């Protein structure tokens, strides 16, 4: 069933296994959800970067020709609740990905994962009872606060004032 | 060949840089813009962000860090999807080229304001 380790052009297919792994969250703990969200947010924000580079390059013909309408027309077409809802998601995802990335950097550096202990019943990993978990919740709270601020800027200031 | 652990540390370091410059980028679109977000999109303000040397340097650094971080992140995701030396090589090369292309494309937008339309 499983394909042999390969070299060359014939690759073993493992997409279901990996994607299934991402989506298999029925017994996921808190850190597992953070991992899934880190992957999803990174993917979405990364793809947005490509679109954002294309979008902002519209300033070049406007600047070179001196016709600021080229830029203003683009901004006007994106000045809609739907586009702003998309930006709100991007802002929330970017903040989450950044803060959770700090948590991962600290974990990789051995910060907040607890000291090793002798394995004793109920064998709960020290790392899951340590500062790292608190940090996860703290960063989620900060993400929600900054997302609320992004909502204020993207919706309250632009559409309701 | 660069070791995966080295690439991952660069991923963390670029990530920390992106956190700082990303905060500045968000602030430039909200708190630091006259009139908040709608004001940040005004033509004159956008032109100022690109022509001011400090803002332009910050944007360029942000772009450089993001080009590495995003496409190395995509590389990690793609290498998880499949295994094999051919696949690994193809993903490595494609993502490196994509990162360079994204960096050059974004750099052009910034440099036009300093070198003119020749670029």
3-state secondary structure A32-62: HHHHHHHHHHHHHHHHHHHHHHHHHCCHHHH
Q: Is A12 buried (19+), middle (13-18) or exposed (0-12) by CB count in 10 A?
A: middle
For the residues B72-80, what does the mean pLDDT come to?
93
Residue A39 and residue B106: Cβ atoms within 8 Å? no
Compute the 3-state secondary structure of chain B and give helix, strand, coil in percent, each to the nearest 5.
85, 0, 15
Give the lowest-confidence range in A23-32, A78-87, B3-12.
Answer: A23-32
Instruction: Please indicate, yes or no, whether the overall pTM of this predicted structure exceeds 0.80.
Output: yes
What is the reported pLDDT for A141?
A: 98
What is the reported pLDDT for A24?
A: 76
* Residue A11: pLDDT over 60: no
Cβ neighbours around B37 below 10 Å, total: 20
What is the reported pLDDT for A12?
A: 59
Prior bond of B75 cis (ω within 30°): no
Q: Nearest 5°: CA angle at B97, between B93 and B102?
A: 150
Closest residue in A to B46 (Cα) is A59
- At residue A95 the predicted structure's pLDDT band, cuts being 50, 70 and 90, is very high
List the domain range (segments joined by +) for residue B69.
4-115
Overall domain count for chain B? 1
Q: Of the spans A107-116, B33-42, B52-61, which averages the highest pLDDT?
A: B52-61
Q: Which residues of A touch B36 (CB under 8 A)?
A: 153, 157
- Top pLDDT among A72 and A26 is at A72
Domains of chain A: 29-160 (1.20.1300.10)
Q: Does the ipTM exceed 0.95?
A: no
**Count of pairs with CB atoms under 8 A, one residue in A, one in B:** 110
Residue B37 and residue A75: Cβ atoms within 8 Å? no
For the residues A140-157, what does the mean pLDDT come to?
96
Q: Which residues of A touch B105 (CB under 8 A)?
A: 53, 57
Closest to A53 (Cα-Cα) out of B72, B60, B20, B58: B60
Q: In A66-130, which residue ranges form alpha helices assigned H by DSSP?
A: 69-77, 81-108
For the residues A55-82, what does the mean pLDDT come to?
93
Q: Which residues of A touch B87 (CB under 8 A)?
A: 11
Percent of chain A having pLDDT more than 70? 87
CB A63 within 8 A of CB B113: yes
Residue B12 and residue A9: Cβ atoms within 8 Å? no
Q: What tokens were used for A109?
A: 């550096």
* Residue A6: pLDDT over 70: no
For the residues A112-134, what does the mean pLDDT come to?
86
Distance from CA of A7 to the nearest CA of B (A): 5
* Residue B84: pLDDT over 90: no
- A105 near B CB under 8 A: yes
What is the reported pLDDT for A160?
A: 81
């Amino acid at each position: 069933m499983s394909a042999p380790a390969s070299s060359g052009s014939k690759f073993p297919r493992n997409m279901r296994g990996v994607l299934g792994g991402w989506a298999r969250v029925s017994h996921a703990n808190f850190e597992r959800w953070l991992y899934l969200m880190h992957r999803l947010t990174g993917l979405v924000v990364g793809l947005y970067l490509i679109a954002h580079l294309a979008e902002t390059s519209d300033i070049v013909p406007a600047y070179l020709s001196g016709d600021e309408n080229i830029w203003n027309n683009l901004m006007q077409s994106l000045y809609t609740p739907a586009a702003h809802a998309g930006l709100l998601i991007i802002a929330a995802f970017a903040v989450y990905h950044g803060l959770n990335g700090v948590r991962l950097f600290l974990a990789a550096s051995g910060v907040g994962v607890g000291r090793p202990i002798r394995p004793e019943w109920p064998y709960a990993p020290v790392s899951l009872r340590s500062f790292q978990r608190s940090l996860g919740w703290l960063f989620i709270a900060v993400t929600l606060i900054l997302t609320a601020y992004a909502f204020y800027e993207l919706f309250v200031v632009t559409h309701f004032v | 060949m660069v070791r995966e652990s080295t690439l991952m540390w660069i991923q963390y370091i670029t990530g920390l840089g992106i956190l700082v410059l990303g905060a500045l980028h968000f602030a430039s679109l909200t708190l630091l813009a006259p009139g908040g977000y709608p004001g940040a999109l005004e033509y004159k303000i956008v032109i100022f962000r690109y022509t001011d040397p400090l803002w332009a340097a910050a944007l360029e650094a942000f772009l450089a860090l993001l080009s590495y971080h995003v496409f190395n992140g995509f590389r990690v995701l793609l290498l998880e999807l499949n295994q094999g030396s051919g696949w690994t090589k193809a993903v490595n090369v494609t993502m490196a080229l994509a990162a360079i292309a994204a960096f050059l494309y974004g750099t052009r937008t910034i440099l036009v304001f300093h070198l003119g339309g020749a670029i």
